[in-house]
Amino acid sequence: MTVSNSETPAIVIPGLLHPRVAERLKSAFPLVELASGDPALLTQEMKAKVRGIASAGRVDAAFIDALPHLEIIANFGVGYDGVDARHAGARGIMVTNTPDVLTEEVADTAVGLLINTVRELPRAEAWLRDGRWVREGGYRLTPGTLRGRRIGIFGMGRIGLAVARRLEAFGLPIAYHNRRPVNGVAYDYFPTLKQLAAAVDTLVSVAPATPQTEKIVDAGIFEALGANGVFVNVGRGATVDEAALVAALSKGTILAAGLDVFTDEPNVPQALIDLPNASLLPHVASATVHTRQAMADLAADNILSWFSQARRALTPVPETAEVTARV
């Protein structure tokens, strides 16, 4: 794809980013690589030339405002809570993310994490590896199982639907909570998260981090799930009250939890790490070579398309869907 502008725009990469993004962009644009999205790192020359950002980290209003000619922010990842998209939209700046290309991978991980959580498979493997099968006999019968479970999905978007399809194939009934019912979805809908939690015993969260969802999965939700309850989170850690989750797991308010995301990554509370009924992953739901490369390609393609003759983004986020390229 050929960049159409007479003066080639510079693209800034603040912080760590999948190397394929830079590989795809470097032949078309001068790249500016910074340690972070700190406006103090920008020189006057950078401010004059940068018109795009490719990022997997934080891009706040201050960094956006420090770049007077900025036109597009290509976020690496479907979740873009690190980008102040509302502020960007108010400034007429496009924000894109990478939906679809990671949907199936994350859904696979969600189901695998659920099975690990209820059947304690990582602990059973550790039992074997530590020689305890030989010394002590078979691993204990697990109190948890998928049999007879009722699944509730918090966040019935692309990934939520993919998780639902997989778990429906296990013969499990599905219900969900969103801000509003999803057209064409036949699963039972509950207008509040607490109503959903009370109706199921297994809650899978795929919800994004927004001001409305911050710590929405709280003590009341765990109480509604009940003593046989299982909570799995592949959405965002900020949606969970982690102290309430630790208390619920410790006291037996719920049976178990499987988490791929945390509030302050990579800093996982020691109290969670110490719990035997918590199955924990280091935010790896989309972490395969195949999927991360596809995400990198889509992030790069958004910038290439924006600065081509087409002058459009491929996957704009809702907050900037109405933004158009400047003449």
pLDDT digits (tens, 9 = 90+) for 76-121: 999 999 999 999 999 999 999 999 999 999 999 999 999 999 999 9
Structure tokens at 155: 């966040």
Q: How far apart are the first and last CA of the chain?
A: 19
Q: Is 236 annotated in the active site?
A: yes
CB crowding 82-103: b at 16 or more within 10 Å, else e = bbbbebbbebebbbbbbbebbb
Domain range enclosing 121: 103-280
**Assigned domain for 5 exists:** no
Q: Which of 54, 41, 43, 45 is nearest to 11 (CA)?
A: 54
Angle between helices 158-168 and 103-119 (to 10 degrees): 50
Residue 4 falls within a domain, yes or no?
no
Residues 164 and 272 grouped into a single domain: yes
Question: Is 87 in the active site?
Answer: no
Total domain count, the chain:
2
Task: Supply the pTM of this predicted model.
Answer: 0.93
45 and 111 housed in the same domain: no
Set 136, 265, 290, 312: catalytic member: 265
Q: What pLDDT is recorded for position 327?
A: 76
- Do 155 and 118 belong to one domain? yes
Q: Are strands 31-34 and 50-55 parallel, antiparallel or unpaired?
A: unpaired
Q: Which of 87, 150, 283, 311 is catalytic?
A: 283
* 43 and 170 co-located in one domain: no
pLDDT tens digits along 259-298 = 999 999 999 999 999 999 999 999 999 999 999 999 999 9
Residues 212 and 194: their CA atoms lie apart, in Å, by 15
Residues of the chain predicted below pLDDT 50: 1-6
Q: Which of 51, 177, 236, 292 is catalytic?
A: 236
Asked whether residue 95 falls in the same domain as residue 114, the answer is no
Same domain, 225 and 242: yes
Tell whether 29 and 111 lie within a shared domain. Answer: no
CA distance linking residue 197 with residue 190, whole number of Å: 9
In the residue annotation, 283 being an active-site residue is answered as yes
In a domain, 3, yes or no: no
What is the model's pLDDT at position 7?
Answer: 78
Spatial separation of the C-alpha atoms in residues 282 and 312, rounded to whole Å: 35
Residues 205 and 268 in one domain: yes
